Amino acid sequence: MADVKVLDKYSPKGRKVHPVKWPGTGRTVGILMLRCDETLKCEVEAREELAKRGLGLEALINRDLLVREEEIQQVYRMVVDPESKGQKEHRVFKSSDEVRTRLEPWERSYFVTWLLHHMEESKVKMDWPPDAME
């Protein structure tokens, strides 16, 4: 028992891959719920991509570009082979550049919307304290 971390008793170690249909087709891909470190990487790399293109974050239009680039970074990390356990080597896209060049905007939006919806559904199913919803 001494070798088991307290966190490991409460937090599952494995990653669940959620099967979803690729938009507009019958083919299935896997979607991973992103972890905190992956979300941070998405935010940082989105900012780096805009900076690399000479765009600052102060202009409102660039903020819209930042949101779209964060979505690209999310899709890169979350779309995986549905038969995998979510390992990096089983990502469908090999880079965020590939997401940017291969996906239509509506496909990117579909995957990100699925992720947000699933996160909300997961929260609804949690056991909340009785006074939390007041």
- Answer yes or no: is 130 within a domain: no
Q: Which domain holds residue 95?
A: 13-107
Say if strands 17-21 and 79-80 run parallel, antiparallel, or are unpaired.
unpaired
d(CA 43, CA 73): 8
At 32 the pLDDT is 93
Residues 6+ apart with CB under 8 A from 49: 69, 96
Give strand pairing partners of 31. Answer: 18, 79
CA 11: distance to chain centroid? Answer: 19
Give pLDDT tens digits along the chain (134 positions). Answer: 455 667 666 666 668 899 999 988 989 999 999 999 999 999 999 999 999 998 887 777 788 899 999 999 999 999 999 999 888 999 999 999 999 999 999 999 999 999 998 888 877 777 777 775 55
Domain tally, the chain: 1
Against a cut of 0.95, is the pTM above it?
Answer: no
Report the distance separating Cα 66 and Cα 45, nearest Å: 10
